[in-house]
Amino acid sequence: MIRALIADDEWAARAKLSRWLKEQGDIEIVAQSDDGIRAAEAIFRHRPDVAFLDLQMPGLTGLEVAAQLDQDDAPLLVFVTAFDEHAIRAFELNAVDYILKPFDKDRLLLTLTRVRGRTRDRKARASAVATARAQTHSSERLLVPDGEELRLIDTSTIEWIEADDNYVHVHTVARSYLLRRTLQDLLTQLGESQFARIHKSAAVNLAAIQALAPLFKGDHDVQLRSGKTLRLSRRYKDALFTRMQR
Amino acid sequence: MDDLLTVTGAKRYSDRVLYALWAVFSVIMIVVAVHDYYRGGGASLWKPLLWEGSSMSFATLLLALQRTIGRRSYDRWLGEPSKWFGHHLKWFPLYLLAFLVLVYGTRNGVYRLLGETYNHDAWLVLIPYEAVKLLLFFGLWLGVIFGFDSFARWHAQQRHLLELQRALAESRIATLSSQLRPHFFFNSLNTISALMHMDVERADRLLACLGELLRASLQSGGQELIPLGEELRLLELYAQIMLERFADRVTVQWRVDDAVLRIGVPAMLMQPLLENAFKHAVERGREKVRIEIAAVRKNDELVLSVRNTGSSLPPDWREGVGLRNCRERLQVIYGAAALTRLSESAAGVEAVVTLPCREPSA
């Protein structure tokens, strides 16, 4: 079975899509969301194989939802929109598909053929997410779990990030958030200019660094403005020093 | 280019003034010559008349000839005075030759007919004298003609510019009023296509609404005023479609004085304001939104407003397309008498349009 998610803020649009998807024998609708934040929540919770994302939604647009996904872990993305906007053209090469409203059943079946052919294609997912990031300001805002809900935080409030198996801890001065993301992909989303690796499993916001103190054998202590001290490993020392001087 | 310079009314008018001026000039020249002749003790009136008359008429003839033949090309050079004068003056030797032959031939002929002999200075003296005299007058009149033609062209260009501006304003107002976003149409069509599978009657009603709205938006191009009652009916069509799409997220309330329904307003004036309320509050927000549409009369003015909860003006707010179009359209129709204002309060964002009360166009 292909597990699908539908996200659209208009009930009629959801109804139309779910009616036709249910008619297919091999598709199961695992969730329907009426805004962008809830769509992202549903994707994180249900891990669908394919997500039909409306571009215009409250909370987060379809593109913003896509930009917040983990490149290696994202569902196949099908964007649905009412108007052939500039933004959607970027996906011509690498989204699984995009559908313009109103569409008929034949058009949807064409999309489903593509989806079935790509359920195991990891590259298609990664590049769609990358394109979505390039289209939105995804380095400025990060979607984090806050109790049962997700919310957006300003990435400049992040002090440092710590990898923990398949998860990362995102530390702000006030509190920490646990995300199911890889450190590598999170750093790709946040961009090179603001954050730097200091350790195999840690990265720091350059703006949060107070001082660097040398230690034994070329390691350093990284002292943060908040008082927290982190370890800078030799491997990342040179790169960090170069960037601090800039 | 030629069309721009083909100058009709203004040119004909300035030509007439030019000819009148030329006639006055000729008369003065002749009068002066006659006066001079009598002071010198002369007695035959026809002689100074012949001298000056022949000079003036042949100079006129030659100038008129040049002007008729070369007009089009000369007009082209009005923007470059040196070329314009150069192309006139290059004909001067031929002009001089023709002038001498015609003038002195005529004078000799007339004298002979009357049994007299026309005595004049030796050709070696006469030719330089006539050449200088002719060149002076020729130059003077070229200057005058240049002035007239330039004025005519300037006038024509001004008129052309005005027409262009008027056409621009017309087309501008046409674009300004067709502001239903494509988004709206495609989304509405999608809603209808979904409704068809569930409730054919409702889908049908919605389709009729959409059709009527589209028709109204296509017709709303000009500056004519429709009764406010009609404008509100169109606004209601739009609201009905949006309510069908966002039923659970918005309520729309109407507060309309019956007394204002017959006042004239530009068609589809309020639609962009309502569209903004939906776009910024309903389509972007997650809270339930309340929209209030009001039309009341205050003294001699009609006050229309659309207020919505659930959105706010960001600190770096800049006027968007919908509001700007609305304002510019009012500017074209009412000048400074109409006002558009956007404000924010605890009750939400409010767009207010104030218009002078006018009758609807017939």
For residue A129, give the CATH number of its domain: 3.40.50.2300
* Structural domain ending residue among the three candidates A119, A135, A151: A135
pLDDT value for B287: 86
Phi, psi torsion values for A24, nearest 5 degrees: -75, 140
A162 and A131 in a common domain: no
Mutate which of B181, B184, B187 to test chain A, going by most A C-beta atoms within 10 A?
B187
Interface residues of chain B, partner chain A, Cβ below 8 Å = 181-183, 186-187, 189-195, 197-198, 244-248, 283-286
Q: Does A101 touch chain B (CB under 8 A)?
A: yes
How many separate helices (H) and strands (E) can be counted in chain A? 8, 15
Tell me what the mean pLDDT of segment B57-69 comes to: 84
Residue A12 and residue A47 in one domain:
yes
Closest C-alpha to A82, from B216, B273, B283, B321? B283
pTM: 0.67
Contact B186 A100 (CB under 8 A): yes
> What is the extent of the structural domain holding A212?
141-245
CATH code, domain with A168: 2.40.50.1020
Shared domain check, A159 and A105: no
Residues in chain B: 362
Element (DSSP H or E) covering residue B302 = strand B301-308
Clarify whether residues A63 and A178 are in a common domain.
no
Q: Which own/partner pairs from A103-106 qualify as long-range (CB within 8 Å, at least 24 positions apart)?
A: A103/B190, A104/B193, A105/A20
Tell me which residue in B198, B246, B286 faces A35 most closely, judged by beta carbons. Answer: B286
Does the domain spanning B182-356 belong to CATH 3.30.565.10? yes
Q: What percent of chain B shows pLDDT beyond 90?
A: 31
Q: ipTM value, please give it.
A: 0.81
Same domain for A81 and A176?
A: no
Beta-bridged to residue B301, according to DSSP, are B298, B356
Contact A10 B285 (CB under 8 A): no
Nearest to A16 among B193, B244, B247 (CB): B193
Distance in angstroms (rounded) separating the CA atoms of residues B22 and B2: 28
Check B186 against A9: CB less than 8 A apart.
Answer: no
pLDDT for the residue numbered B9: 60
Q: Is the pLDDT of residue B163 over 70?
A: yes
Across B48-61, average pLDDT: 87
Q: Which residues of B touch A83 (CB under 8 A)?
A: 181-183, 186
Query: Which of A6, A8, A9, A61 to substitute to test the interface with B, most B CBs within 10 Å?
Result: A9
Cβ contact A163:A202 at 8 Å? yes
User: Could you say which of A88, A105, A135 is where a domain stops?
Assistant: A135
The domain segmentation of chain B, as residue ranges, is 2-175, 182-356
Kindly state whether residues A117 and A238 are assigned to the same domain: no
pLDDT digit string, tens, across residues A58-91: 889 899 999 999 888 899 999 998 876 666 776 7
Low-confidence ranges of chain A (pLDDT < 70): 84-87, 90, 92-95, 246
Number of folded domains that form chain A = 2
Residues A228 and A128 in one domain: no
Q: Are the CB atoms for A215 and A221 separated by under 8 Å?
A: yes
Residue of chain B whose alpha carbon sits nearest to that of A37: B286
Of the given ranges (B4-18, B32-46, B98-112, B211-225), which has the lowest mean pLDDT? B4-18
A115 and A151 inside one domain: no
Measure in Å the smallest separation between the Cα of B272 and chain A Cα atoms: 18
pLDDT in tens, B13-41: 777 888 888 889 888 988 998 888 888 88
* Interchain CB distance below 8 Å, B197 and A19: yes
Condensed to tens digits (0 to 9), the pLDDT of residues B302-312 reads 999 999 998 88
- Same domain, yes or no, for A131 and A13? yes
Do A85 and A13 share a structural domain? yes
Q: Half-sphere exposure of residue B149, counting CA atoms within 13 Å on the CB side?
A: 22
Put residue A23 in one of left, alpha, beta given phi > 0 → left and psi -120 to 50 → alpha.
alpha
DSSP summary character for residue A28: E
Chain A residues inside the 8 Å CB shell of B199:
none
At residue B17, φ and ψ (nearest 5 deg) are -60, -40
Do A71 and A164 fall into the same domain? no
Do residues A29 and A128 share a domain?
yes
Check A16 against B197: CB less than 8 A apart: yes
- Residue pairs spanning A and B at CB distance below 8 A: 58
B180-208 pLDDT, tens digit per residue, is 678 888 999 999 999 999 999 999 999 99
